[in-house]
Amino acid sequence: MHYEDVLALRKAWGDKPCDHPEFTDEYLFGSRTGDYVCTQCGKSFQHVPMNRYVKK
Ligand SMILES: [Zn+2]
């Protein structure tokens, strides 16, 4: 997910609780940042459970 979309997602989600059901790669300027983002709330993580990781 591109970083701009991550920011938009975070803004849209607000501070509601999220159980982070699914993560994907975070991209900035076309490159992976090495972080993962929750596809529901947009929060960034350095390490995620691989059974929740989806390539998008
Ligand atoms: Zn989340």
Determine the pLDDT at residue 56: 74
User: What pLDDT sits at residue 12?
Assistant: 98
Domain count for the chain: 1
Distance between CA atoms of residues 3 and 53, nearest Å: 17
Per-residue pLDDT of the chain (56 residues; tens, 9 = 90+): 999 999 999 999 999 999 999 999 999 999 999 999 999 999 999 999 999 999 87
Q: Give 13 Cα–ligand 1 centroid separation in angstroms.
A: 9
Q: How far is the CA of 30 from the centre of ligand 1 (A)?
A: 23
What pLDDT is recorded for position 13? 98
Cα(1) to centroid(ligand 1), Å = 14
Which tokens belong to 45?
A: 């993580």
Let me know the angle formed at the C-alpha of 36 by 24 and 27, rounded to the nearest 5 degrees.
80
How many beta carbons lie within 10 A of that of residue 55, not counting itself? 5
Q: Which residues form the domain of 33?
A: 3-52
Residue 29 alpha carbon to ligand 1 centre in Å: 23
Using the mean position of ligand 1's atoms as its centre, give its distance from the Cα of residue 32 in Å: 19
Position 55 scores a pLDDT of 87
